[in-house]
Structure 1
Amino acid sequence: MPLRLRGVFRSRWTAGAPWAVHGREEHCAVMHYVISGQCLLTLDDRPEPVVLRTGDLALFPHGTEHTLSDAPGRTAVPLHVALPQRPPGTADAVRIGGSGEEVQLMCGGLHYAPLGESPLYRSLPPVIVATRQDLERAPLLRDTLNSLVTQCPDSDTSSEVITLRAFEMVLLLALHLSLNEGLPDSTPPEAVRHPGISRALAAMHADVSRPWTLPDLAREAAMSRSSFSETFRELLGESPARHLTRRRMQEAARLLTETTESQHTIAAKVGYQSTVGLHLAFRKWFDMPPGEYRNRHVR
């Protein structure tokens, strides 16, 4: 999954019973890590709330609407009222609720470029919950979360990039844990679980510059061409050729906005033999040429 964070709004919450906060759907990933205490997580389409305890992590890959509270039936404060301004790259400390039992949370709004949303990412469930016991099997994820707790929300500007990449690591490691461990509330996408399709995807994403053909990818998957093509389309909702083009365009867009490399160099890195080939494919995909895309997004 070609995902890279552009910015993070992070906050540390102290909530005393009674309390409840309702977050609308966000155009970013959202995470809540319970530092101490416990709370309830409720989604509109699920009748039973999930109990989050000390050391548990809840990740919303698509920023799905949800409510956090100390008990069922609370009147929730909208998040945009409790935190009206949440620009990426900033941090805040929040205290809400009454004088009852407290819970402390580290929360983050993880903003990534929309072009990073591959079909695999879009197929992820609304919420992924990793318990403290799950995180014990993923010590790098656990330790990264705990290191962020010590500097959240207070962090000087010089460490902003490090903090951003640390949250990015949390996101990717949590997704990896979900896909490999089959965590509750997180059914792994069938494409990842399929031995042949997953091998072909890994090869394709690892080397977008290679002139992949359908026979090449079918061989990586150890499948016949017809079976590979049919299964790929069934699991990912698009053909292997379109998925490869999507991945190449994502990488080209990233290189255009994050580097100063020439279009000739970028074309070679994403599998096109000339800048003309990249230009035609890029314009068809983004409805603008690469140069215009770079000018708009760099500004």
Structure 2
Amino acid sequence: MEIPGGDDLIGELLRPLRLTGVFDSRWHVNAPWAIEGDAESSCAVLHYIVEGGCWITGEGHQPLQLRAGDLAFFPTGIAHRLSDRPDRQGLPLRAVLPRRTPGTSGEIRIEGTGARSRLLCAGLHYDASAATGLYRALPWVLVLDGSQVSREPLLGDTLALLAATDRPTAPGDRLITLRAFEMALVLAMRPLLRELSSSPAALPVLGHPGISKAMVIIATRFAEPWTVESLAREAGMSRSAFTAAFRSLVGEAPARHLTGRRMQEAVRLLGETSLPQSSVPERVGYRSAVGFHLAFRKWFGKTPGEYRTTCTAGLAGS
């Protein structure tokens, strides 16, 4: 089934989240074992099975079995359990890894008498402003099996390097690790989202031509003077029907989604470019500098100037 605007919409979901830090750990476990992970705020979670296998269990979901070479990605860091058997209750992750500070690494060893497994696990902390309603609407877990990973050689090589127990350390390693996980995330999302695009039931917005078209417009033409009425016209719908369908499928109102996309671009321009601050409002769809300033402060709790100063200080200290 071909989904109108599907490729463009999937392309927007492939925009890398702005990772702000990574805590990664290598697990060496022998059955019996089970680890209960808490829900993570503004944090995606990645599990790569290096050797052996495990089960993933989440409340209200059927258990999933993973084998060596498989990769599981939790877009919104929902609470879940990893174990050698789906019905086994385990230790809280905070009990075995009490400190999971971004920028550091850890290790878990469980010396059982049963089958051995090795895993690479990572908490990918991201800028919450980049997580749109569409991103938050992704399934609780996305899985690439070993054959899919093998068809993405760069992804496999990156995961193998990150999973290595003798991974080299040197000046700049923290930044390199962050960027490597960021690349692994994007490389993993590409085939995962391609698969979703052929299954509208998994992400219903992809099956709605009017809302999909509006989503692509917001993603790519956010600097234009859109209103809910003009977006509804583009979608070929009445304002009320458009607003209701958008909220139902995307998880937030169209005006908020548009503001979120503009703010996402604003922080990119302020944090990653030398564009004069006075030029940012027009670049992101605001005709008034005052209006942009107020919207930015309401969204982030700080002014554009304060945000840029914080980014500059962070770069200087990295």
Aligned pair partner of 2:108 in 86, 94, 99: 94
Aligned pair partner of 2:132 in 107, 111, 118: 118
After superposition, residues 58-77 of structure 1 pair within 5 angstroms as 58-77=72-91
Is the counterpart of residue 269 in structure 1 residue 274 in structure 2?
A: no
Is the counterpart of residue 179 in structure 1 residue 193 in structure 2?
A: yes
What is the match of residue 206 of structure 1?
220
Q: 1:246: how far off?
A: 1.6
Q: 1:233 to 1:44 in 2, by over 3 A?
A: closer
CA contact (8 A) 1:92 1:153 kept: no
Q: Partners in 2 of 1:266 and 1:59 — Cα distance?
A: 34
| Matched residue SS, 1:30 | strand
CA contact (8 A) 2:196 2:203 kept: no
Identity %: 48
Is the counterpart of residue 12 in structure 1 residue 26 in structure 2?
A: yes
Aligned pair partner of 1:41 in 56, 73, 96: 56
What is the match of residue 81 of structure 1?
95
Q: Partners in 2 of 1:96 and 1:210 — Cα distance?
A: 56
After superposition, residues 281-296 of structure 1 pair within 5 angstroms as 281-295=295-309
What is the match of residue 107 of structure 1?
121
After superposition, residues 239-254 of structure 1 pair within 5 angstroms as 239-254=253-268
Q: 1:205: how far off?
A: 1.6
Q: 1:49: how far off?
A: 2.5
After superposition, residues 101-180 of structure 1 pair within 5 angstroms as 101-150=115-164, 154-180=168-194
Q: Partners in 1 of 2:266 and 2:163 — Cα distance?
A: 35
Deviations 1:4-24 (CA, angstroms, capped at 9, x unpaired): 111111111111122221111
State the superposition RMSD in angstroms: 3.1
CA contact (8 A) 1:144 1:166 kept: yes
Deviates more, 1:74-83 or 1:137-146: 137-146
Deviations 1:108-132 (CA, angstroms, capped at 9, x unpaired): 1100011112101111122112211
Q: 1:209 to 1:159 in 2, by over 3 A?
A: farther
Deviations 1:247-269 (CA, angstroms, capped at 9, x unpaired): 11222234334455432122232
Q: Partners in 2 of 1:258 and 1:133 — Cα distance?
A: 36
Deviates more, 1:140-149 or 1:56-65: 140-149
What is the match of residue 69 of structure 2?
55
TM-score where L is the length of structure 1: 0.83
Q: 1:213: how far off?
A: 5.1
CA contact (8 A) 2:161 2:167 kept: no
CA contact (8 A) 1:12 1:153 kept: no
Q: 1:288 to 1:92 in 2, by over 3 A?
A: closer
Deviations 1:67-91 (CA, angstroms, capped at 9, x unpaired): 1112244441221121122211122
Q: Partners in 2 of 1:54 and 1:186 — Cα distance?
A: 29
Q: Partners in 2 of 1:76 and 1:154 — Cα distance?
A: 32
CA contact (8 A) 1:33 1:106 kept: yes
> Could you tell me which amino acid in structure 2 is paired with residue 235 of structure 1?
L
CA contact (8 A) 1:59 1:128 kept: yes
* Unaligned ranges ≥5, structure 2: 1-12, 314-318
| Matched residue SS, 2:102 | coil
Q: 1:143: how far off?
A: 4.0
TM-score where L is the length of structure 2: 0.79
Is the counterpart of residue 279 in structure 1 residue 265 in structure 2?
A: no
Q: 1:150: how far off?
A: 4.1
CA contact (8 A) 2:26 2:165 kept: no
| Matched residue SS, 1:182 | helix
Q: Partners in 1 of 2:244 and 2:86 — Cα distance?
A: 46
